[in-house]
Structure 1
Amino acid sequence: MEEKQPSPTDHLANERTFLAWIRTGIAIMAFGFVVVKFALFLKQVTLILGDGSKAIPLPSKGYSAIIGIALVGLGTIMTLLAFFRYKNIERQLHAHTFFPSLTLSVFLTVVMILTGVLLVIYLVPSI
């Protein structure tokens, strides 16, 4: 009996999903980079304006750099986990044992929700 190979559409769908995770990881890393650079920009504006000028109210906490670096790290971890998921699904397709898994999706959803909540908590006092 001849064993049926997975169809090319299965592999292409797996690859499209992988690339979507990669794009998301890159976007999160880029956002983190922007947050870090914006924190540096605010520090430079503070130095230029001096301590006596209150023209631009700046947040008293300096967590922007930490948040930005954490977002770059999250994007990097997301990219790595996406690769592992891609290879796992590829093996399952070849072995005809594919079953959907929500582990990565649930993990990243929880992490992004927590990140969003922490960002809201950080930003609300500056309103």
Structure 2
Amino acid sequence: MSEKSYNELKKQNRRVHLANERTFLSWIRTSIGIMAFGFVVEKFGLFLEQLYYLTGKQINVNQGKHSTILGVFLISLGALMGLLAFVRYKKVERQIDTDTYKPSLILDLLLTITLLSVAIFLIIFLIHSL
């Protein structure tokens, strides 16, 4: 292998590694966003309880429990996604170095299922609060 082609291959490999790192950081931002949303959902349940208390309306105790459960679930899921993103990053890094890259859909599938589950839960929650 000539020196010029070796340098070109090394430069191309750097670009692929940097793209892998950008993807990892994107997954980390997504996991932080999911954790922040979980925190907001949990605190929103407390806000509703206080609002009902101040207005003197009867409170549905289950609504506060549901938002707490959903909030904790989202925070846990965000942390799990961050961990899986790191595992995926290191796996892809090794595959790039050995030129054996194979795409994996586990994080994409996890995010999609999470979004659908949260949407269904929130729709049911809002319908019951009418």
Q: TM-score, normalised by structure 1?
A: 0.82
Instruction: Give the Cα separation in 1 of the matches to 2:68 and 2:91.
Output: 35
Instruction: Give the Cα separation in 2 of the matches to 1:46 and 1:125.
Output: 16
- Which residue number corresponds to residue 104 of structure 2? 101
- Which residue number corresponds to residue 76 of structure 2? 73
Match of 1:22 among 14, 28, 38: 28
Measure how far apart 1:58 and its partner are: 5.2
Two-structure CA RMSD over aligned residues (Å): 2.1
Q: Secondary structure at 2:90's aligned position in 1?
A: helix
Match of 1:111 among 107, 110, 114: 114
Unaligned residue ranges in structure 2 (runs of 5+): none
Asked whether the equivalents of residues 49 and 59 of structure 2 are also in contact (C-alpha less than 8 Å), the reply is no
Asked whether the equivalents of residues 32 and 78 of structure 2 are also in contact (C-alpha less than 8 Å), the reply is yes
Aligned positions of 1:32-71 closer than 5 A: 32-49=38-55, 53-54=56-57, 59=60, 61-62=62-63, 63-71=66-74
Asked whether the equivalents of residues 38 and 71 of structure 2 are also in contact (C-alpha less than 8 Å), the reply is yes
Percent identity for Structure 1 against Structure 2: 48
Match of 1:83 among 83, 86, 95: 86
Unaligned residue ranges in structure 1 (runs of 5+): none
Structure with the largest fraction of helix: 2
Measure how far apart 1:43 and its partner are: 2.2
Asked whether the equivalents of residues 92 and 101 of structure 2 are also in contact (C-alpha less than 8 Å), the reply is yes
Instruction: Give the Cα separation in 1 of the matches to 2:104 and 2:23.
Output: 13
Kindly tell me the number of residue pairs found equivalent between the two proteins.
Answer: 122
Higher relative contact order (CA 8 A, sep 6+): 1
Asked whether the equivalents of residues 20 and 93 of structure 2 are also in contact (C-alpha less than 8 Å), the reply is yes
Residue-by-residue CA offset, 1:84-117 (whole Å, 9 max, x unaligned):
1101000100111111122221232123212221
